[in-house]
């Protein structure tokens, strides 16, 4: 099939029907009314705004959740925003089907109405980036900017989003580190179309800085600071937020995910196929067979997931995994790779090793023999010999990885995220075996399909 044919076929599946579109609009009007009425009823000067993909009409067919932001005047004290915001959210939700309280920077309400998820999020009614006070305040500006600049290329955004989902590079959450919806919109606006974005995968990397808001002209100092900071962080892209020169929209985009996009973009152009958008579920292999095939070993540390959000926990697990990698290399083990995460209430660190046992003795090099330290070495050690002018001795060592790990942890010789140090020290150690709920993860890790560029 040609590019056009594939794209048209995919569009059939991701473009909302007239019915869905109509439903979404009526629902938005209805919800806005309810919100406005409820606010007035409570005597609150609050403007309701819809943000997110539904508000921008860039949502994928069947995926139309609502983000209804309740914007308070910017002179409202933060505590009042919190309190009244939750009160108002709850009052609105009372008129819908069901709801619960969720927590981000501030508590907010997650309601459901007519089968649709509706987040009711209090924020400040900012008109300008200088007013931004909380993390969510920008959303209103984002929505406004996209709607002003998208100029009917909504389907192009849908294609790009679906493509990114298909290649598993969509979402800016810490455990994904991919492209956010807003970033996808900016790229389409910048390059003109889905295909142009793909064709520019290499160029945007070399260009590095994307500045759709022309901040480098309007706010040189601030924008330059952002560019410098993000360049030092070695981000693949620095996309200066068109609504806030202090922010890199691609700050959470990892090299791995950009790399996937980079290869898949070219792959799609050279061999167009709907598979990129809707990959057929890959069969998960058996991790034990992988171990046999590779002749390597899997060491897994698991412990109860600490009560930390992923943004905190995952970096700490990664730091710990790197710590184990360094410590074990010093002990003559080869760490072929590592993987971290959590699943079913259990956090885990997986290490792929070349072996589980090492020789029982090590050769300990000593000083030159004709020194005072030479005499000490000679006296202290039982088996001593010379190679050239240097003394050597045999040193008994632990042979098995579990004993070695135990010693390392006991002596705090493993660099670790301190938030989890204690838990890791008491972690359960599994060798060449993982519990059911980790089997898939183990396979994806050992086969490297987790980060693979083929499939």
Binding site for a second copy (CB under 8 A): 202, 205-206, 236, 255-256, 259-260, 262-263, 293-296, 332, 334, 336-337, 354-355, 357-363, 369-370, 378, 382-389, 391-392, 394, 399, 447-448, 450-454
Q: Kindly tell me which of 258 and 277 has the beta carbon lying closer to a second copy.
A: 258
Which SS3 state, helix, strand or coil, does residue 385 take? strand
- Tokens representing 81 are 């925003």
CB of 185 to a second copy, least distance (A): 24
142 labelled binding-site residue: yes
Determine how β-strand 116-124 pairs with β-strand 66-72. Answer: parallel
Please choose, from the candidates 282, 280, 215, the residue with its C-alpha nearest in 3D space to the C-alpha of residue 249.
Answer: 215
CB of 390 to a second copy, least distance (A): 8
CB of 167 to a second copy, least distance (A): 13
287 labelled binding-site residue: no
Alpha-carbon distance 96 to 55, whole Å?
19
Q: Kindly tell me which of 45 and 399 has the beta carbon lying closer to a second copy.
A: 399
CB of 254 to a second copy, least distance (A): 8
CB of 292 to a second copy, least distance (A): 9
Alpha-carbon distance 20 to 115, whole Å?
13
Q: Kindly tell me which of 92 and 164 has the beta carbon lying closer to a second copy.
A: 164
- Tokens representing 273 are 């196929």
The DSSP code for 398 is -
378 labelled binding-site residue: no
139 labelled binding-site residue: no
Q: Kindly tell me which of 236 and 417 has the beta carbon lying closer to a second copy.
A: 236
Q: Are 340 and 350 in contact (CB under 8 A)?
A: yes
CB of 64 to a second copy, least distance (A): 33
26 labelled binding-site residue: no
Tell me how crowded residue 34 is: count the other CB atoms within 10 A of its CB. 20
Q: Kindly tell me which of 278 and 392 has the beta carbon lying closer to a second copy.
A: 392
The DSSP code for 107 is E
Please choose, from the candidates 54, 260, 27, the residue with its C-alpha nearest in 3D space to the C-alpha of residue 165.
Answer: 260
Contacts of 380 (CB under 8 A, 6+ apart): none
Please choose, from the candidates 51, 50, 267, 58, the residue with its C-alpha nearest in 3D space to the C-alpha of residue 160.
Answer: 58
Q: Kindly tell me which of 21 and 450 has the beta carbon lying closer to a second copy.
A: 450
Q: SS3 for 232-244, per residue?
A: HCCCCCEEEECCE
Q: Kindly tell me which of 17 and 334 has the beta carbon lying closer to a second copy.
A: 334
Task: Give the CA dihedral 307, 309, 311, 314, nearest 10 degrees.
Answer: 40
What does the angle CA 144 – CA 66 – CA 153 come to, to the nearest 5 degrees?
45
Contacts of 145 (CB under 8 A, 6+ apart): 213, 242, 243
Q: Are 250 and 238 in contact (CB under 8 A)?
A: yes
- Residue 307's region, left for phi above 0, alpha for psi from -120 to 50, else beta, is beta
Q: Kindly tell me which of 274 and 384 has the beta carbon lying closer to a second copy.
A: 384
CB of 272 to a second copy, least distance (A): 19
161 labelled binding-site residue: yes
CB of 353 to a second copy, least distance (A): 8
Binding residues, as ranges, are 53, 56, 65, 67, 119, 142, 161, 170
Q: Residues comprising the binding site for Mg(2+)? A: 65, 67, 119
Q: Which segments are annotated as binding site for CTP?
A: 53, 56, 142, 161, 170
């Amino acid at each position: 099939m040609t590019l056009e044919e594939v794209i048209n076929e995919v569009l059939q599946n991701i473009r909302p029907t007239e019915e869905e579109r109509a439903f979404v609009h009526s629902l938005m009007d209805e919800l806005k009314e309810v919100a406005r009425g409820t606010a007035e009823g409570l005597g609150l000067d609050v403007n309701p705004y819809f943000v997110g993909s539904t508000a921008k009409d860039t949502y994928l067919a069947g995926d139309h959740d609502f983000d209804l932001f309740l914007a308070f005047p910017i002179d409202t004290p933060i505590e009042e925003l919190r309190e009244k915001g939750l009160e108002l959210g709850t009052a609105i939700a009372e008129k819908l089907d069901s709801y619960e309280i969720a927590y981000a920077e501030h508590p907010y309400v997650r309601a459901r109405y007519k089968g649709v998820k509706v987040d009711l999020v209090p924020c400040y009614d900012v008109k300008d980036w200088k007013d931004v006070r909380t993390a969510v305040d920008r959303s209103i500006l984002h929505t406004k900017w996209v709607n002003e600049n998208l100029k009917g290329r909504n389907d192009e955004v849908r294609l790009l989003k679906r493509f990114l989902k298909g290649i598993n590079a969509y979402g800016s959450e810490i455990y994904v580190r991919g492209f956010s919806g807003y970033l996808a919109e900016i790229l389409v606006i910048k390059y003109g179309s889905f295909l142009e974005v793909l064709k520019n995968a290499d160029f945007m990397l070399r260009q590095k800085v994307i500045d759709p808001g022309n901040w480098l002209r309007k706010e040189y100092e601030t924008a330059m600071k952002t560019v410098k900071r993000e360049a030092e962080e070695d981000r693949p892209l620095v996309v200066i937020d068109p609504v806030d020169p202090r922010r890199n929209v691609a700050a959470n985009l990892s090299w791995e995910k950009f790399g996937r996009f980079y290869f898949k973009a070219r792959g799609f152009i050279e061999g167009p196929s709907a598979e990129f958008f809707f990959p057929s579920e890959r069969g998960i292999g058996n991790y034990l067979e992988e171990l046999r095939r590779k002749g390597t070993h899997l060491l897994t540390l698991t412990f109860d997931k600490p009560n930390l959000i992923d943004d905190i926990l995952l970096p700490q697990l990664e730091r710990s995994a790197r710590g184990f990698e360094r410590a074990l290399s010093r002990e003559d083990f080869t760490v072929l790779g590592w993987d971290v995460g959590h699943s079913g209430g259990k956090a885990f660190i997986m290490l792929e090793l070349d072996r589980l046992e090492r020789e029982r003795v090590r050769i300990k090099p000593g000083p030159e023999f004709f020194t005072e330290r030479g005499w000490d070495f000679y006296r202290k050690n039982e088996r001593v010999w010379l190679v050239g002018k240097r003394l050597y001795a045999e040193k008994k060592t632990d042979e098995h990885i579990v004993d070695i790990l135990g010693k390392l942890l006991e002596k705090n010789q493993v660099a670790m995220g301190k938030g989890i140090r204690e838990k890791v020290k008491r972690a359960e150690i599994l060798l060449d075996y993982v519990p059911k709920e980790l089997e898939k993860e183990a396979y994806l890790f050992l086969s490297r399909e987790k980060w693979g560029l083929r499939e």
